[in-house]
A and B are shown apart, each in its own frame.
Chain A
Amino acid sequence: MEKLKFVGFHATSQANVNNIITRGFIINKERNNDWLGHGIYMFLYKIDAESWANETYYCKNNPAIIKCSVEVEEDKYLDLDNSEEKNIYESYYDEVLKLLLRNGKSIIFKNNYEAMCWGLNIYKKDKKIDLIKYTFTNNRTRNAMKYGNVKYGYKYNEIQMCASRNEIILKKEIC
């Protein structure tokens, strides 16, 4: 199987850098608002990681960026910017919801993000997905003001990736 290679930039605080470099990332499974499911989050572009690190409460006082070299088998990569792959995922989600109903179960999501996180957690487990990529609109005020969100017609977006496990991150470097 062909392997796909990516470089991603993880935003964190200086306090966490050494642990991440030496022991790997800790995947927080307590948080249910992860829009690409539980995993290790990276930005495709360093500038977006810097923006996140500089403005997020837990790392803005001592921000740090870790450059991650990622390798993933082609069939374990889900690109939600690819309409075909997105449609397959959405059909799968529909089927899971129907399966629950057929088995006499209804689900109550607290919010949209929990529903997104749940769906991708199930899909990742089933399809053994190691990496997900999706382009989000960047609505962070400071970025919008700094770069011009729709200047000359182009929205300011940010591409995020979520790795399901440490093993696909082959190299980590402090930027």
Chain B
Amino acid sequence: MLNIEEILKISDEMGIEIIDNTEDKHYILDEHGEKVEFSMDMLMKTEESTSSKIELRVSTDYSDAKFSSSYNLVNCENLYVSKSVSINESIIDAA
């Protein structure tokens, strides 16, 4: 294993805050910026927390052998999206 100096050097290069240990704990900032005790279990939730928590209202319109679907974003919680979509914004997928 790397020695403590090397670990501190990597942490410093990454700009990670290291403080004197007074409570025998490590910390992570929560969504409010508050320090909470860190545990590896929290990292297991990373993927879960980005899982699809969206609610779409879908309607389909058929006419003249063509159809279009309208996706309306009703709810979205903590979802990583490549393109921002606002609540109640509709996306029309025509074919």
Contacts and interface: CB of A to CB of B under 8 A. Distances in A.
A35 B80 CA distance: 14
Interface residues of A, number: 45
A107 B21 CA distance: 8
B86 interface: no
Contact of A109 (B19, B28, B51): B28
Contacts of B21: 100-101, 104-106
B35 to A, nearest CB: 6
B52 A105 contact: no
A159 interface: no
Contacts of B46: 35, 112-113, 116
Given A100-B21, A126-B1, A107 B51 contact: no
Interface residues of B, number: 46
A97 B51 contact: no
A75 interface: no
B25 interface: yes
B28 A108 contact: yes
Nearest to A93: B40
Contacts of B43: 112, 115-116
A109 B29 contact: yes
15 contacts: A99-B7, A100-B7, A100-B21, A101-B21, A101-B26, A108-B26, A109-B26, A112-B28, A112-B46, A113-B46, A122-B2, A125-B6, A139-B50, A140-B82, A145-B71
Interface of A: 29, 32, 35, 52, 55-56, 90, 92-97, 99-101, 103-118, 121-122, 125-126, 136-137, 139-142, 144-145, 149
